Structures are given as C-alpha cells and as structure tokens.
Structure 1
Amino acid sequence: MIKAVNLGGWLLAEGWMKPSLFDSIPNKDFLDGTELQFKSKTTRKFLAAELGGGTNIVANRSSASTWETFRLWRINETSFHLRVFNKQFLGLDSTGINLVATTNDYQTSGIFEIIRKSDDPNRVRIKAPNGSFLQAKTEDLVTADSKGDGQWGDNDPSVFEMTIVRRLQGEYQVTNGYGPLQAPQIMKDHWDTFIVENDFNFIATSGLNAVRIPVGWWTASDPTPPEPYVGGSLQYLDKAFLWAEKYNLKVILDLHAAPGSQNGFEHSSTRDGSIEWGQTEETIQETVRAIEFFAARYTDNPSLYAVELINEPHASGVSLDVLTKYYEDGYKAVRRHSPNAFVVLSNRLGGDSKELFPVASGMTNVVIDVHYYNLFSDIFDTMNVEQNIEFLKTTRSDELQAITTSDGPLTFVGEWVTEWQVRGATKEEYQRFSKAQLEVFGRASFGWAYWSLKNVNGNWSMEWMIKNGYITL
C-alpha cells in the first residue's frame, strides 16, 4: 500500500515556495491573472464589459462583480493586455477611439499601460494603444482621447479608482513576472534549495514509501520550454528519480499542470484563472506528448511506480467526453513504454465519483484518484472537532467505500491534509484528526498521499507535522 507525500514545490504555487520568491518581482502588484476593477471618479460608477464581453465598455455599474472585473496578461512590468469575463480582450473600435472588448486574439487587441498616482497608488490612469488615455465621458461612453495631464482630481474623467480583487501566485506569475533575464536564476535558486536529497532521506525514515511529484507539461520541452517558462526543471526531476531510487521510494509522476490549465487554479500554472485545456485538440495532444516523454524517459528507473495523467480537471470547463478521450490516449502513451506502471486517472472536481469507471474498465493497473479535504465547502464552516472526525468516519468512509470495489479500479486518496475550519484546536485534537484520516484513507486500495511535504503553513507541511508530533505513522 502506498503511503506517500506530495512534493509541492516541484511546481510553484502559493504556499509551496518561500514567500520571499515574490518580493523582488518588478511591479509585483500587476502579475498575470491579477483581477482589477476600475471606478470612474466622475461617473462614480464601475467600468464594465457590456454583456460580459463582445461589445463596448461602459462606466455605469453601481456595484462590481464579474462583468466589472478585468484580468491582466502581463507583457512587461508596465504593459498589459486586459481580458474580460467572456475572454475577449480590451481594444479600440474601428474609429480608434471607443473602448470595446470584441476580440479573442490578444495579439490584435492592443497594449495598455496602468499609471498610478505617485502618492495614491489606487488612483490610476490607463493609457490606451493609441497613446491617449481612457476617460469616462458619460456612463455609456468610454473613449481613448484624453491627454491625461490633469491634476488627478475627482472631476477628471481620465482618473479611476482601482481595486485589486484577486492575485495569482503560480509558476506562470513567477517566471513571467521576473522575465527572461532574471527568471532562470530565480528558479534555479528555488530548485537548489526547496526540496533536496536530505528530504528524501527524511521521507524514507519517517514511515513513508512513496512520493507524488507534481510537474508541469513544459518540463517535457526542457531545456527550451515555451515562454515564459525557463529551462532546468528536467534535470531536477532526474535528480528526484535518482534520490527516490537511492532511498527505495516509489514515484508517482503527477502531471499537475496541463497546457492552458485544466482547472483555472494557480497550481495548474494558469495565466489568468481561465480553463483553456481541452478546448482545442492541440492542448490535448501536447499533453499526450508530455506523458509519452515522461513515460519513455523513466521507464527503466525502478522507482517509477505510477503516472498520473492529469491532476484535478474541473467539470465546469472539462467535459467528460474530452477527458475520457484524453485518458484513453494518455493510457496508450504510457503503455507504449511501460507495461506495468500504474496509470492514475484523477476524478473531475465537481464530477460524479464513479464517472471514470467505464473508461477504466478497459485498462489494466489503473487507479482512480480522489482528493478529500475538510475544507473548501460551506458545510465545514460551522463543524467542530467532533463533527469533523465523525464526518470522516461516516461520510468520507462511505464515499471511499462506494468507489472501492473488488472488480473495479484501485482507489487512491491522492491529496489530504490535517487542516480544517476549526479555530483554536489543540495539538491533541489535531492528532485525533490525523489519526482518523489515516484510518479511513488507509482503506483506499492503492493508498494515500498527504499534501504536502513542505508548506509555509505548518499544518499543510507533513515535515512540520511529523517533527512536531502532530502525525504519527
């Protein structure tokens, strides 16, 4: 049975790296995917993409939500494309003056600059592709024909109050934020220090027998991955396999980030929070090529135990038909090189727990991966310690039992953590919570993997939890 820990940090995301990694990024407020809202100082209304996109931009919304939110695509520290809710990009219409969002091609949309007032960084002007500044002439007319040379007063239609709604902190944000001159050294420093050989020794001596390593699709193109990613990740993955072999650990190679993002989360290296994977055949075939590359490269390494074809595809953006076809192609790619390695199929977030059984029925050595957290849902907000533990022993146990069958695929709880919504819990209560999860998830027929080995938040770090006596294996 697999008793594993995830090596979050092989792929960058919030919590999986030293917080200081972001400190030196130039203009770090404006990284890819940052969500911004702009309120006109003259109309006192928010800029909005009418109908969510596909037509003109107005300044007539009293409150801000999705249509009033703009996502950055960073070109450099001062220049950006801006994307609206329906995925069109801001630009100017045929007159070269009126602001619209009508194109899905960022390369033809135009480049914008956001200029902040020196002593009030939330007060901004937006320079348009024609060199003039945007202004809200009326609630229904936003144009790019201001000189932007006023005194930043509330009566200046080119002045907007900016609110940063959300930031992303993933590998795309780091590498594109630092740019091609700085990013290679930044990433090398991270790879050299975050997870090292001694960590594999710790894992092996702590009662664990495997590691689940999250990787990005671009590693298969190393040493010249597509921009903004930088070369070097493959040699560190090679090291991980060598260390795993040295310390007799099994490796579950997990494709955590697919081209275009399969779930919109920063840990899938999304650029702006959108789900683009599977919407074109090229994104699927690029992913199959990555799986085949990894399967071929590590087939002779005795530590290769399983290949996970993709992590956490989201049902809101990935159809079951698309995922089924990909799983069939990915399975064949692994089998061309490795007849015995397990192939792991991750359930869709928001999908039915048994929806992958039909595709798995025609495969050998196949595993269904489910992730169980007592988090990320309103039902956990008011649960106390005893209710959380009881939920594990009843609901979670029943869910796992329902998909663990004698004639079906193996089951794998590929992610879980000793964290909850309970505030002020004692060490003894955390210990009981850990013990309950180990007991329930230990019934998975393939095994389990804790998220993760290291994390800036103590309970998310299995290393910290073991060293401080919160988890006993």
Structure 2
Amino acid sequence: MGHAARDSLFRGSVGSENTYHTSPSAAGSSVYALNPDGGRATPNEYGVYHDNHSAENLDEQAGGVGQTPQRTYLAEKRSAYAAPPRKKRGIIILAAVAGLVVIVLVIALPVYFTTKKKNNDDLSGGASGGSSSGGGGGGNPGSNAVVTGGNGSKVTLANGTTFTYQNDFGGTWYWDQNDPFNNNAQCNSWTPPLNQTFVPGTTRIFGISIGGWLVTEPFIVPSLYEKYINASTVAVDEWTLSTNMRADTSNGGINQLEDHYKTFITEQDFAEMAGAGFNYVRIPLPYWAIEVWDGEPFLEGVAWQYFLKAIQWCRKYGLRINLDFHSLPGSQNGWNHSGKLGSINVLNGPMGVANAQRSLDYIRILAEFISQPEYSDVVTMFSVTNEPAANDFGQDPLERYYVQAYNIVREASGTGAGKGPYIVLHDGFVGLPQWTGFLPNSDRVALDEHPYLCFSTQSDAPITSYTSTPCNAWGSEFNTSNGAFGLTISGEFSNAVTDCGKWVNGVNQGSRYEGDYYQGSWPTIGSCDSWNDWQSWDNATKAGYKQFAMASMDAFQNFFFWTWKIGASSVSGTVEAPQWSYQLGLQNGWLPTDIRQSSGICPNQNIWSPPFQPWQTGGSGAGQIPASATQDLTWPPPTLSNSGFATNAASFPTYTPTGTLTTLPGPTFTTSSGKSQGTASAGDGWANPSDTQKAMTPVSGCSYLDPWVGPTSPPAKCKAGGGGDRRRAYPPTPSPT
C-alpha cells in the first residue's frame, strides 16, 4: 500500500457517480477466453464458465477448460479404497483359509492403523516445498492414507486437528508426505492445476495479497504496534517495532515476531483463499528474510522459513504465488512497509547505488531459489521491487535498475525463453503510459500499478455512489496498457474510498477525511466512525461495497486485492480498517462469494482482447530484446538525485562483488517406503550453477555512510580493492520450532 505517506503523490480524485451498470463487458475480455471461441457466452454456454457440482458430467460442463477435479479426486479415492476382486471358492477352500486369515488380521490390523494414523497426522508436513512431479499420489504402496480431496473432504493439519475443506468451485487439494513436490492440486475448475501451464490472457489472474504477515504494517496488525505506543521510541514501522521487541525480553523479545508468523496466517487461510475463488497469492517478503547487516534490528531469516510453509500450502491447495520483494535495504520509498519510515535510499542519495547493488543481490538469491524445478510451478511470478518512488528520484535510474533485475532473473532460470517466473515491474507511480515500449520483446514481463482512490481528495458521498467509478477511472487505462505494453495487473487495490481506518496512513498520522492528517492542510469532511463501524452497515451499504469491488476487478481484469486479513485492535477488540480485509468482507457479505461475478460489471470499456503477443507469454521472439532498447540504460546510473539535485553517481560509494554468497535453504521432508526412511531432495537453493559471481560487500578498509542516511552530501568514493565481508549486529536466529 503506497500513497498514504507523501503529499506529492496526490492524483486528481475521480468523482463519485450515481450510475449503476450491470451490462456485460465487451466480447473478447480475458475472462471470455474461458468460453467457446473466446467470445461472449450465450445463455447455454454460460454454464461452461460456472460449475454445477451436483451433476455427474463435469467433463462436459467444464468445456475442456482445465481439469475435472471431482472426477480426478473420485478416481483416486476409489483406487485407494478399491474392494478386492471377488472370486468364487468352494466351501472347503474357504474353511481351510479362514484360520490363516484370522492370523494375518491379528498381525496386520495394528500395523495398518498405526501407519494410517501417522500418514494422516503428516498431511500438513513441516516447512515447504514445490515443483511438478506429475500425477499419482506417491506414498507407501498399499497405504490407504487420504492424500487428496474436494469440497467437503476432511483435512488434517500438522498438529492433528482437522477442518472441512469448503470449495464450491471444483478445487481439489493434494498432499502426500512421501511425494512432497507433487503438483496435482487445482484451486478451481477454471484454473489449470499446478502441473499445467497458466497462460495470462487465457486464464484471468484472480489474486489476493497477504499483507502484514511477513512484512508487518501497523494498520494491518495494530495489536503488535499498540503494545509500544507509549514507548520512548514509538513503534511506527518494523525497524522501531523490532527495536522495542528486542528490549522487551520479559515478553519474548524479538521472537514475538515469530509468534505473529505462526498465528496471523495459517494453512487454513490458504484453504479459504482457494475456496474464495482466488488462483494467485501475492506474498510480500522483506530483505531480512535473507540476511541483515550491521546495525539492522530486524529478525533475520525466520520469515523465509514461513515463506517455505506458504509454498507448501499453496502447492497443497493449487494456488500460485507472486513473490513480492517488498522491503529493500535503505528503503525504496520511505514508507513504513519498506522497513523504516523516513528517507529514500535506493536509487536516491549518497547510498543509492550501493543499496541498489545490495538489493539486486537479493533479487538474484530469490530468483535462483524459485527457478529451481521444485518450486518453479508454484512461484510463477516475481515482483522484483514493491512501489519504488520513481516520482521522487526519476524514471531513468529505475529503468536501468529494472534492466539489471530482468537480466538477473532470466539468468537464474537458464537459457531459453519461457523459463522462470513472470517478472513484474511496478510503474514507480509515474503512470502506465510512461512504460510503453520499455523492454520490447522481453520474456514474460508484466507491468504493475496500485490504484487507490482513498489517498486523494475526500468525499462524504456514500459507497453506493461509487458503483461505476472504477470502470471509468481505470478500465480504459488498463486496457490500453495490455495492448501497448503487455500483461498489466493491479498488484494492489482495496475497497476503501476514504482514508478512514486506524493507522491506514501510519501510526498517529491522522486522516485526511477528519482533517487531521499530519501533512498539508485538509478540510474536515466528517467523522470516520460510520466508515469504520462495519457492524452497523446496512444491506445497501454492503451491496455498494460489493459492487465497487467487482467493478474494480472487472476494470483491472488481472488483479490482487490488498489484503486478505486485517487483525483486530487489542484496544477495541475489533477490526478498525474493514474496507481492507477480504476475509472480513466474505464473512459479512460485502464481497462476492463467487469472484467470477465481477466479469461484465464494466460496460463499453474497450476490454482488451487476448491473446498477448507470443513474446509476452514466452513464445516466439521472447527474450530477443533489440540492443538499441537497452544501449542507453547502462548500469550504474550516471546521475542520481541528491538533496533535490542530479548528482554524478560516479562519486557515490559502491560495494564490490567479493563477498560470500548467501543461498537460501529449502524445506526438509522425511519420506518413508516400507521400513526405510529418507529425505526428499529439495534443491540446493541455486538453479543455475553457471551463475558464480560473488556477493556485493563493503570494500575492505572503506568508510561508508549508514545505508539509511538519507539524501545528504556523499563522502569521497571508496576505491575498489580488497574484499571485506558483511557483519551482523545480531547473531543469526535459529530456525523456527
């Protein structure tokens, strides 16, 4: 979430409109590629895109789209519980065998039930996993442990508890401890299972973000921050939160963050996301999931262990992941979700080059991990930098940085087009049209914008007056970009039309709506109480929010709602930013139970007609970027912004590639076959063994400014040579229990 912290981001507001449109989108929108001939469905064809789970002929109803998961599930279930063949025997033979059968049963039954219980208890495993191992359930021959299921089936968690899987859209889960990288799961009937290719433009991205989990934000998890609201240094971001927690040893110290990771998002959340109709999950990840350097108070490495769990859970429920590199060293935008509220120090100021070098290293480490065959079918999108503030430091250095990131990610996946994840580039708040023509013929690059109404001019118009606003505000822009650039997504959006909600703008920073926002002079529009008191919303208000959400989805076509869950305040005991919680909206009726209902909300928006150009989806010409397109985008940038002036970047300090390279560990899965046990191969963390460049590290003997120093005058540049290594302020944290 981006616009809240800086006045310079104001965009003209879109006035609310009292029109309510229900006519369908133009034929050829991406959703209609799911229907016959890619055109608009006739009434008889409409069932192709919708499910009827009471019918037996799911193969015919699916219209050839994806798989028919209930049939797959039933076939495997019948195979697992198949009755033995019945053969006629004489009475004498039966009598002779009876005694032997009794003896066998006395011995076998205890073994069978012991094995079955163990396998059921292991259904949720430990850490994570991911790749395609094809079909089949794996596991021990003869074992009757249930490894897959559809709507209404029972799922057993690692702690032995169970829940009933609810998925009305034909989704099937799949988990076998002895086959932990199996990709048979399918989140719903209109999305290919993980062992088949997801093609944007043929299948829509219905995405949900998991904010506040591995990167905390005060408005998403207020209870973590409320604890330190009266501290000598108030917790306003994860930096100050971590500092307060480290001093709070009586309450668990910094390990309180792991308690949050364990409880805020669990496996059942992923099951619910699949059951809500989503097919993609955008997961923000901070750089401290990999490592920290000297003086940085963050909890090192533990978030990565929970990201591994997320991979396992997404694999189990057939969800794909958009890995979002959300928080960069030095901060790419100065907002609290970047790790530290304050100044921008990536591509900006005296440490702007050095911090960008370090960030590119982390992009490389992440890309090498997710490009391994064990994970590449689950983590299929990589948002290389969340919300870089190019509107502050300029588009030119960001373009140069993106060229480096593109080359790094593609090198990690090896030679040949169509390998590795989609690379997602945020527009840097300069607008989608400014990126037309960037990286032509690049291999599977998507453009990302985060459209929000709530951080500009405020209005007391009711939510029911905004039903068509998203269509008019964003539909044409996204349609044009899909054709001019290629795949264009909304990586974030919400149901908020005002900036009401506890700490939506930051801790103690007020709101524009109530006129007490800490920056600028804002007229008081009214009280936020009615916007926050979701328990009192009437049916018309809930219907208005639902319609606004669906209009947004249709306008964007491919999207990720921000965010799945908002935690309750420890002071009030309730959620105080309701427009941002998809889970809360589902539970209380202001978000659609069938997300596909959003298709057709926006009329006459010149909906972009698929498919994309072949090179945009990894086909012919992909990766063949003309040399002329990048010849003026050399690295590092010749100039960077420093205190508002363009400064020669050659005078800035840089790091040197002589450091010890960090690789990320995979999960551990214990498998069994008969009486023997083993460990499933989870990769070594590095997809491309030819990628051997060492890590960026401070030059030995050089003195550097603090990476978070802000745009002050730079010192003399350190001369290359030597090879110091990085130091940590805190010892590495043990792996989670």
Shorter-chain TM-score: what band?
0.5 to 0.7
Which residue does 2:431 correspond to in 1?
352
Which residue does 2:401 correspond to in 1?
326
8 Å contact from structure 1 (residues 264, 275) kept in 2: yes
Bigger-Rg structure (1/2)? 2
**Judging changes above 3 Å, is the alpha-carbon distance between structure 1 residues 26 and 203 closer, same or farther for their aligned structure 2 residues?**
closer
Which residue, 438, 442, 450 being the options, matches 2:550?
438
Which residue does 1:448 correspond to in 2?
559
Q: CA deviation at 1:356?
A: 2.3
Q: CA deviation at 1:256?
A: 1.1
DSSP-derived class of the 1:377 partner: coil
Which residue does 1:173 correspond to in 2?
240
Q: CA deviation at 1:327?
A: 0.7
Q: CA deviation at 1:21?
A: 1.7
Rounded Cα–Cα distance in structure 1 between residues aligned with 2:446 and 2:338: 21
Rounded Cα–Cα distance in structure 2 between residues aligned with 1:246 and 1:3: 18
DSSP-derived class of the 1:415 partner: coil
Which residue, 398, 402, 417 being the options, matches 2:480?
402
**Judging changes above 3 Å, is the alpha-carbon distance between structure 1 residues 381 and 314 closer, same or farther for their aligned structure 2 residues?**
farther
DSSP-derived class of the 1:237 partner: helix
**Judging changes above 3 Å, is the alpha-carbon distance between structure 1 residues 275 and 437 closer, same or farther for their aligned structure 2 residues?**
same
**Judging changes above 3 Å, is the alpha-carbon distance between structure 1 residues 469 and 230 closer, same or farther for their aligned structure 2 residues?**
same
TM-score, normalised with respect to structure 1: 0.65
Which residue does 2:344 correspond to in 1?
275
8 Å contact from structure 2 (residues 470, 551) kept in 1: no
The code of the aligned residue for 1:178 comes to: M
Aligned residue pairs, count = 330
CA deviations 1:214-259 (Å, max 9, x no partner) are 111221227x886201121111111111111111100000011111
Rounded Cα–Cα distance in structure 1 between residues aligned with 2:287 and 2:438: 23
Which residue does 1:43 correspond to in 2?
none
The code of the aligned residue for 1:470 comes to: W
Please tell me whether residue 461 in structure 1 is matched to residue 581 in structure 2. yes
Rounded Cα–Cα distance in structure 2 between residues aligned with 1:254 and 1:243: 17
CA deviations 1:187-235 (Å, max 9, x no partner) are 111111111111111111111111100111221227x886201121111
Which residue, 284, 287, 292 being the options, matches 2:356?
284
**Judging changes above 3 Å, is the alpha-carbon distance between structure 1 residues 387 and 20 closer, same or farther for their aligned structure 2 residues?**
closer
Please tell me whether residue 311 in structure 1 is matched to residue 386 in structure 2. yes
Q: CA deviation at 1:429?
A: 3.2
8 Å contact from structure 1 (residues 343, 367) kept in 2: yes
Cα RMSD, aligned residues only = 2.4
CA deviations 1:2-30 (Å, max 9, x no partner) are 1111101221111222x332344495252
**Judging changes above 3 Å, is the alpha-carbon distance between structure 1 residues 411 and 426 closer, same or farther for their aligned structure 2 residues?**
farther
Rounded Cα–Cα distance in structure 1 between residues aligned with 2:274 and 2:566: 19
Matched-pair identity in %: 25
Which residue does 2:491 correspond to in 1?
414
Rounded Cα–Cα distance in structure 2 between residues aligned with 1:361 and 1:396: 24
Which residues of 2 match residues 14-413 of structure 1 at below 5 A?
A: 14-17=218-221, 19-25=222-228, 28-31=231-234, 169-179=236-246, 182-221=252-291, 227-231=296-300, 232-270=302-340, 272-279=341-348, 280-299=352-371, 300=373, 301=375, 302-338=377-413, 339-349=419-429, 351-378=430-457, 380-405=458-483, 408-413=485-490
The code of the aligned residue for 2:369 comes to: R
Structure 2 gap ranges (5+): 1-203, 414-418, 499-527, 532-536, 568-576, 596-737
Higher relative contact order (CA closer than 8 Å, sequence separation 6+): 2
Rounded Cα–Cα distance in structure 2 between residues aligned with 1:254 and 1:225: 24
CA deviations 1:134-175 (Å, max 9, x no partner) are xxxxxxxxxxxxxxxxxxxxxxxxxxxxxxxxxx62211211
Q: CA deviation at 1:316?
A: 4.0
Q: CA deviation at 1:431?
A: 2.9
Q: CA deviation at 1:426?
A: 3.9
Rounded Cα–Cα distance in structure 2 between residues aligned with 1:366 and 1:281: 24
Which residue does 2:211 correspond to in 1?
8
The code of the aligned residue for 2:482 comes to: T
8 Å contact from structure 2 (residues 463, 544) kept in 1: no
Rounded Cα–Cα distance in structure 1 between residues aligned with 2:550 and 2:262: 32
8 Å contact from structure 2 (residues 215, 285) kept in 1: yes
8 Å contact from structure 1 (residues 219, 225) kept in 2: no
